[in-house]
């Protein structure tokens, strides 16, 4: 570009024209964001499994998800992921779910300790509350809890340091567990969360699927005719996804949903440390919550002599907590090794039941780069739905409701009411059902997504 041509576009009139054009472009391209209209994208394999309806028709899992998930229309005043996410911590009106709790002893000697499961029950009055609207089952009452009814039952996993009381979780349970909704539900609380006591130094971690596994086994035996479904939120979504991959074709869930999964924990961790704001707002908040949780169970946790009490006291951020607690508890040399091992991205490829994942691209806690779009393009069993707006566990609509609750309710009700899940076509990408199978002379090679690195021996 010559000097004269450069001066032509730097005159006041030309600059004004350029600025007006840029402003117009920004307004047009951000109009959807300004109006709260989120763009919805779907990622799934070419051979999405075929589901047979109770009317005898067939529909692919991908087409089912695209047909039942509603348009994502969010509150225009909460026009980015930070505002959506911050708004979720503000106390607001939500479904008043009532629970009764039972403490289970872990049967697997590799993961000793107790864990609390909260079961949704009809409203009651009680002065002996563990949490608001949460009390304990009496022994004789729990012994008679079994039933041969065929109501669909949802098993829920909450987010980091949360519990059954969380607003986001109750917003999903609310429309399902009403008389009209027709569902039963329970929440598997991570060890030490929701005012549950731990009986060993073992807290939860991002791979702790063992308590969920025992709960599902118990539910299958206690309610033999109930179709079981799973939903996980944030860290609970990561645990659920790993569990689904570990169980593979033997999974007892008819379908499952993961909401705001952090997926690649090492990538999301780098995102949390990428800016001063993310580090000092989100990572610090999560580190503070975990440190409080540690404080409730300090006496038990410190029975593990490998944990340095002073190091824990100095914790400020999430990754520092994982370095001080998770690494010495599970034998990881660094928190990054823990994150890589506990990530659920590869688990997507081992899932063998209908699986829907919902993630927001502007989630300030889960980096967009962590969302495994390519993995969903390789599996017939999963559908990933991303929205351009929504934040972390948020998706607030005008009026205060959450789009994610509408989406999960629509998906679960469709699966439970209209799909004959005993007869769905299992399309495998290869005859052996392996991802990336290659044959070279007499040699076969393939990728095993669940060849995890952590080894436990009793």
pTM of the predicted protein model: 0.89
| Residue 334: partners with Cβ closer than 8 Å, 6 or more residues away | 323, 327
> Please, what is the end-to-end C-alpha distance for the chain in angstroms?
73
H-helix or E-strand spanning residue 256: strand 253-259
H-helix or E-strand spanning residue 32: helix 31-34
Q: Cα separation of 94 and 171, whole Å?
A: 6
Q: Active-site positions? A: 234, 363, 392
Position 15 scores a pLDDT of 39
Q: Which residues pair with 154 in a beta bridge?
A: 185, 229
Confidence of residue 457 (pLDDT cuts 50, 70, 90): low
Question: For the segment 172-201, what is each residue's pLDDT rounded down to a tens digit?
Answer: 999 999 999 999 999 999 999 999 999 999
Query: Percent of the chain scored above 70 by pLDDT?
Result: 86
Torsion of CA 126, 129, 135, 136, to 10 degrees: -110
Position 3 scores a pLDDT of 35
Q: Cα separation of 282 and 238, whole Å?
A: 18
Position 95 scores a pLDDT of 76
The domains found in the chain, sorted by start residue, are 38-264+343-425 (3.40.50.1820)
- pLDDT of residue 453 exceeding 90, the answer is no
- pLDDT of residue 346 exceeding 70, the answer is yes
Question: For the segment 273-295, what is each residue's pLDDT rounded down to a tens digit?
Answer: 999 999 999 999 999 999 999 99
Position 323 scores a pLDDT of 98
Position 449 scores a pLDDT of 85
Confidence of residue 18 (pLDDT cuts 50, 70, 90): very low
Q: Cα separation of 301 and 325, whole Å?
A: 9
| Strand, helix or coil for residue 19 | helix
Position 192 scores a pLDDT of 94
Question: For the segment 104-151, what is each residue's pLDDT rounded down to a tens digit?
Answer: 999 999 899 999 999 999 999 887 889 999 999 999 999 999 999 999
Q: What share of the chain is helix, strand, coil (3-state, %, to 5)?
A: 40, 20, 45
CA distance to 66, 415, 425, 427, per residue, from 53 (Å): 16, 9, 12, 17
């Amino acid at each position: 570009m010559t000097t004269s041509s450069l001066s032509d576009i730097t005159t006041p009139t030309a600059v004004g024209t350029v600025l007006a054009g840029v402003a117009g472009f920004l307004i047009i391209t951000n109009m959807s964001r300004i109006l709260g209209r989120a763009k919805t994208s779907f990622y799934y394999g070419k051979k999405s499994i075929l589901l047979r309806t109770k009317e005898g028709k067939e529909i692919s899992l991908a087409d089912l998800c695209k047909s039942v998930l509603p348009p994502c229309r969010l509150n225009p005043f909460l026009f980015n992921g930070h505002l959506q996410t911050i708004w979720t911590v503000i106390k607001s009106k939500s479904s008043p779910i009532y629970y009764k709790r039972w403490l289970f002893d872990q049967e697997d000697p590799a993961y000793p300790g107790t864990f609390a499961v909260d079961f949704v029950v009809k409203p009651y009055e009680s002065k002996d509350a563990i949490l608001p609207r949460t009390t304990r089952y009496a022994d004789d009452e729990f012994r008679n809890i079994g039933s041969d009814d065929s109501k669909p039952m949802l098993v829920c996993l909450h987010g980091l340091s949360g519990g059954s009381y969380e607003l986001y979780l109750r917003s999903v349970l609310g429309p399902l567990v009403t008389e009209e909704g027709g569902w039963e539900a329970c929440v598997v609380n991570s060890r030490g969360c929701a005012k549950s006591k731990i009986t060993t130094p073992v807290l939860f971690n991002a791979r702790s699927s063992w308590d969920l596994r025992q709960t599902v086994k118990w539910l299958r035996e206690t309610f033999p005719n109930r179709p079981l479904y799973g939903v996980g939120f944030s860290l609970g979504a990561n645990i659920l996804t790993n569990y689904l991959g570990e169980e593979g074709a033997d999974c007892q869930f008819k379908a499952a949903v993961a909401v705001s999964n952090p997926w690649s924990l090492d990538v999301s961790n780098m995102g949390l440390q990428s800016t001063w704001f993310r580090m000092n707002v989100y990572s610090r908040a999560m580190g503070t919550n975990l440190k409080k949780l540690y404080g409730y169970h300090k006496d038990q946790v410190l029975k593990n002599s490998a944990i340095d009490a002073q190091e824990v006291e100095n914790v400020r951020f999430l990754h520092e907590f994982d370095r001080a607690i998770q690494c010495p508890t599970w034998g990881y040399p660094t928190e990054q090794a823990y994150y890589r091992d506990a990530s659920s991205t590869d688990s997507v490829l081992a899932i063998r039941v209908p699986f829907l994942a919902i993630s927001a691209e502007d989630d300030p806690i889960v980096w967009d780069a962590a969302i495994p779009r390519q993995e969903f393009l390789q599996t017939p069993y999963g559908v990933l739905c991303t929205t351009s707006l929504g934040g972390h566990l948020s998706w607030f609509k005008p009026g205060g409701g959450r789009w994610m609750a509408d989406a999960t309710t629509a998906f679960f009700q469709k699966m439970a009411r209209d799909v004959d899940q005993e007869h769905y076509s299992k399309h495998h990408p290869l005859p052996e059902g392996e991802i990336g199978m290659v044959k070279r002379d007499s040699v076969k090679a393939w990728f095993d997504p669940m060849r995890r690195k952590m080894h436990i021996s009793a």
